[in-house]
Every structure is written in structure tokens, then in C-alpha cells.
Amino acid sequence: MTATSQQSAPATTATDRPVGVAVVGCGVISDQYLANLTRFPDISVIGCADLDLDRAAEQAAKYGVPNSGDPVSILALPDVDLVVNLTTPAVHAAVAMQAITAGKHVYGEKPFALTVDEAKTVIAAAGQHGVRLGNAPDTFLGAGLQTARRLIEQGRIGTPTSARATFATPGPDQWHPNPDFLFQTGGGPLLDMGPYYLTALIQILGPVARVAGFGRRAQLKRTVIEGPRAGEQFDVTVDTHVVGLLEFAGGQVANVTFSFDSPHAVRELEITGTAATLRLPDPNKFDGSVMICTKGADEWVEIPATGSAEGRGTGVLDMVRSLSDGTAARASAATAVHVLDVMETLTTAAAAGQTLAVASTCSAAEPLPETWNPLERSK
């Protein structure tokens, strides 16, 4: 069913019905969101929107969503309270502004925007229109990373002192049918994968104060490997291998590497303390065991994760529940903008060969209770 055009009043979040959600952007990632959002009883997915109307209709039919159409028509639906913005990074801010102007709350995919200045414009508009903002990644709310955080807060590794993060693969051109945007402005391994690792570190160690870094790109052109465009070449306009040094406000230090230039996959995230080192699960996932190696020991011990691991959309649901009870959404705009600021400052520092201060800050979110259940109606 295609949405009919009509004027949209500012969104109100009723407590006697599920919160109405619209998904804008029906590309590859929308499957993971829609599969979960349509199962959460606190949420009613009202519409799917995309500039490609056939794609929007296909996703709506696949997940039993009653309306599909272009973004303007879906944003005009009066029962839509919150928009999940799954568009490409280059238009994240523009689509958010469109939804904000229509009086809708917005939860966006990462990165929050292309620049910090662009992000500030979005935040100011949300304040003017009285709507709230949330942003991916929400993987830090999954059982794996929540378990790691609990262990650290319980003192299992002593005082955290340092961290190491590595994400390296041959690149999404090996599997994505339309990988161009991941190698151009708004993409690259830092902006594409950095938010998962940086958000996890910031939720545990606190905000980043200073950064230094280096970057390079191994190829100026890439080739699409899979799908109908296989064999097509495209330009690479951002660094595809970035190395950074981070100093946190609390004094801890970390070295991070993000690369699309590795012949094999490496995904590592460790936090070292005075008493032990903790090996965290993949921060792009919601589950996975935590490994600990205590001071003086030679072996790693596995600690099974506990908590919810339902997947993408967890942050949307937490935001929906926060609209009802007045609490702060855990996958917050403040954290997302700080992560963007860290990445933007790191890029500038790498180009200038300098160590630069990060202007913004944020606070870690409240941990999720181990019993938090997305499949039970909260009201």
C-alpha cells in the first residue's frame, strides 16, 4: 500500500499504543532492522520509505508493513512518531532534518552526519522542534559488550589503563553490490567501522581528549566483485587504512587501526587493567563471549555473555521506551556526535601530522539491566 500525501502534525508519543515507526532507506541494512522492529511489541512499524519505490514496497511486503512510498509521503503519515534513518551517510543529516521538520523523533544509522558542524545544525533543529535524537551503533547494548562493561565495573581487571582495537578486512567491495559510498566521503574504514569500536571504548573508558594518527589508501580505484555491477570500477577518495592514538579524559590510552586494505580479516578489541586484560567480543555484534587473562596467568578464561542479544534495533527500542518514561536514550546523539568528533579530529590530525584536542565530550550510558527484555511490552 502506498502512503497518501497529507499534512503532518508534530509527533506525539502515545502511551496507550505502540510507538509508530517509519524506516527511511530500504537498503541492505534495513533487513536487520525490520526483522527486529516488527517483533518488538512496543513498536508498530507504520511505513517503509525509499527513493526507489519498488524497493520500499518490497521491504514493506516482506515484513508486513502497511505503507510504503517516498520519504515525503511516509513522513506525512500521522501515526509515525519516530523515523529510523537508514540512508547513506552523505544524506544522513538532510533526511534527519526532513523528519525533524515534520515533527518526528529521529534515530539514525552511523555516522551521525558527515561533519561536526552538520551535526550541530541537526541538534539545534531538533531542539527547536521539540523532538529527540538517537543514533547507532547500538551494539554496545548487546549482551557481549554489556557483560564486559559489568566485569570492568566490578573491578575484575583492576584499574583500566589502556586499550587496543583493530578492524581490518579486504574491504566491502568484496561483497557489497553497491560499495562506492563506503570508499568515498562519509565512508572509509574509519567512518564505517570506527563507530562500533570507538563507541564501545567510550562507553567503558569515557570520552576521548586527544588524538594523533596516520592514514593512507592502497588503491585509487576499486572493483565491484559481487552482484549485477561486478567488474565495474569506482574511485577511492578517502583513506582506506587509518591508525590512531587516543588519550581519554581519564588518562587511559588506546591504539586503533581501521583498514579496508588487509588480505585477511582481523577484529580485535582488548582493554588492559592493572590486574587483567579483557578481550571483548566483536563490537559490530550483540553477542559473543568475553575472555579474561589475569596478571601472572598464561591462559585466557571464557566468561559467557548474559543479557539481551536481539540485534539491530535495540537502540531504537530503548529510545522508544525512553520517550514514555522520560529517561535518556542510551544510544544518544551526544555520544554519536562525540564519536564523529573523534573521527573528524583524527582525520585532521593525520593530515596535519599533529596531536589535536577533541572539543566535544559525552557521558557513558546507563547499563542495561541483565533482565531487559525487548520482546515484552513495557506498558
Query: Is pLDDT of 324 > 60?
Result: yes
In the predicted model, what is the mean pLDDT of residues 70-75?
98
Query: Is pLDDT of 14 > 50?
Result: no
For residue 73, what is the enclosing H or E element?
Answer: helix 71-75
* Cβ atoms of 165 and 269 closer than 8 Å: yes
Locate cell 562519509: which residue?
A: 186
C-alpha cell at 46: 507504520
Write down how long the chain is.
379
pLDDT at 360: 98
Torsion of CA 366, 314, 172, 288, to 10 degrees: 70
pLDDT at 134: 98
In the predicted model, what is the mean pLDDT of residues 53-79?
98
C-alpha cell at 260: 579496508
17 band by pLDDT with thresholds 50, 70 and 90: confident
In the predicted model, what is the mean pLDDT of residues 94-105?
98
Asked if the peptide bond before residue 137 counts as cis, ω within 30 degrees of 0, the response is: yes
Locate cell 502515545: which residue?
A: 14
Q: Residue 275: CB partners within 8 Å, gap ≥ 6?
A: 155, 156, 157, 158, 294, 295
Query: Is pLDDT of 8 > 50?
Result: no
C-alpha cell at 2: 502506498
Alpha carbon distance 74, 59 (integer Å): 14
In the predicted model, what is the mean pLDDT of residues 47-54?
98
- pLDDT > 90: percent of the chain: 93
In the predicted model, what is the mean pLDDT of residues 222-232?
95
Quote the mean pLDDT of the chain.
94
For residue 31, what is the enclosing H or E element?
Answer: helix 30-37
Amino acid identity of 308? Answer: S
Q: Which of residues 64 and 181 earns the better pLDDT score?
A: 64
pLDDT at 97: 98
Q: For residue 143, which phi and psi values (nearest 5 degrees)? A: -55, -40
pLDDT at 225: 95
Query: Is pLDDT of 99 > 90?
Result: yes
Alpha carbon distance 303, 144 (integer Å): 10
In the predicted model, what is the mean pLDDT of residues 222-245?
96
Alpha carbon distance 234, 210 (integer Å): 34
Alpha carbon distance 297, 318 (integer Å): 39
In the predicted model, what is the mean pLDDT of residues 344-350?
97
C-alpha cell at 328: 535518556
Q: Which of 193, 218, 159 is nearest to 268 (CA)?
A: 193
Alpha carbon distance 54, 50 (integer Å): 8
Q: Which domains does the chain have, with CATH numbers?
A: 19-135 (3.40.50.720), 142-307+333-357 (3.30.360.10)
pLDDT in tens, 190-208: 999 999 999 999 999 999 9
Q: Residue 305: CB partners within 8 Å, gap ≥ 6?
A: 142, 143, 144, 146, 147, 281, 287, 288, 289, 290
C-alpha cell at 16: 496507550
pLDDT in tens, 109-146: 999 999 999 999 999 999 999 999 999 999 999 999 99
pLDDT at 15: 53
Query: Is pLDDT of 10 > 80?
Result: no
Alpha carbon distance 87, 107 (integer Å): 11
C-alpha angle with apex 311: 245 to 97, nearest 5 degrees? 75
Name beta bridge partners: 305.
Answer: none
Q: DSSP E strands: which ranges in 95-159? A: 105-108, 133-135
pLDDT at 7: 29
Q: For residue 43, which phi and psi values (nearest 5 degrees)? A: -125, 140
In the predicted model, what is the mean pLDDT of residues 151-155?
97
The secondary structure of 237-266, three-state, reads CCCCEEEEEEEECCCCEEEEEEECCCCCCE
Query: Is pLDDT of 12 > 80?
Result: no
pLDDT in tens, 260-319: 999 999 999 999 999 999 999 999 999 999 999 999 999 999 999 999 999 999 999 999
